[in-house]
Amino acid sequence: MMTQEQCSHRNNVQSSEKPQVYKVGIYGWRKRCLYFFVLLLMILILINLALTIWILKVMNFTIDGMGNLRITEKGLKLEGDSEFLQPLYAKEIRSSPGRPLFLQSSRNVSVNIVNSNNQLLTQLVTGSSGFKARGKMFEVKSTSGKLLFSADEQEVVVGAERLRVMGAEGAVFSKSVETPHVRAEPFKELRLESPTRSLLMEAPKGIQILAEAGDIQAICRNELRLESKDGEIALDAQRIRLLRLPEGKASASSSSSGTRQTVYEVCVCPNGRLFLSLAGAGSTCQISNNFCL
């Protein structure tokens, strides 16, 4: 057992020693580096926040959309000019009510319709070389739904009341033309011409050529033939003129020594040829029939 003196001596020794203190944390240059990185991080956060706010301001981000792009219940709405760098796929493209829809491209504008197998069915191309349309059928209709123009592999239909050709050379058809009525404009001439081939007009119920306020001319280089198989050819006019008919010459024995006559009679040869003969007291066709030889 310890005595009283030993206990008091031990207490005095413990009281004379200083208590030890352990430091917790970062001190010195480490603390300064930590504060520097925290400050740098705060600066970067502020710069990033400022750039984000600037981008939102410039791009005009709102709850409804971005810039001229608005998100509506019916789809996307673009206001102003829009530029697409890649193909655009949409179910419907239309302008705002009362405003036009304007499409512009530096090369061409193509509209393609494909099937489920990605095969081209219909194509519409507008470019610097012209306007091209590809499809099984092409139709143009009026606002009332009336067919104005239609084209397919079988035929081309013009549904307008009048087809007007404004070219100086008129209309050129390499094949036949079927129409119920051919008429020129008022005070204009109607000319049907085949420069190197024949011109044929056929109709099962007749052909009528009418000039109400002018003349009708039929000019040919060789022969002009009028033929009626089952009917007749009628020349109905107040005056009928047969110009440039040859004049038959009578024989010397039957020639008259009287005054010169200015009246002729029209004679017909058995082959159908017409000629003129000086009229006399009787018929002079037999006298001048040497023209039929």
> DSSP string covering 132-152, please?
EEESS-EEEE-TT--EEEEE-
Q: Establish if 137 belongs to a structural domain.
A: yes
| Selected residue with higher pLDDT from 40 and 254 | 40
Backbone angles phi, psi at 266, to 5 degrees: -90, 125
The reply to whether 113 falls in a domain is: yes
pLDDT attached to residue 45: 96
Q: Is 132 inside a domain boundary? A: yes
pLDDT (mean) for 149-159: 88
**Terminal Cα distance for the chain, rounded:** 187
Q: Please check whether residue 142 is in contact with residue 148, taking contact to mean a CB–CB distance below 8 angstroms.
A: yes
Span of 51-60, 106-115, 149-158, 208-217 with lowest mean pLDDT: 208-217
Q: What's the pLDDT band for 73 if we cut at 50, 70, 90?
A: confident
Higher pLDDT among residues 186 and 124, named by residue: 124
With respect to residue 265, please indicate whether it lies within any of the assigned structural domains: no
Domain end position, chosen among 119, 137, 161: 161
Q: Is the pTM of this model over 0.85?
A: no
Residue 256 domain-assigned?
no
Residue 177: left (phi > 0), alpha (psi -120 to 50), or beta?
A: beta
- The answer as to whether 36 is a domain residue is yes
Let me know if residue 157 belongs to a domain. yes
Residues 6+ apart with CB under 8 A from 59: 66, 67
Amino acid at 121: L
**pLDDT of 108 above 80:** yes
Print the domain residue range for 38.
Answer: 29-71
pLDDT confidence bin for 257, thresholds 50/70/90: very low
Tell me how many domains the chain contains.
Answer: 2
CA angle 270, 275, 277 (to 5 degrees): 110
Core vs surface per residue 158-167: b (16+ CB within 10 A) or e: eeeeeeeeee
**Residue 238 in domain:** no
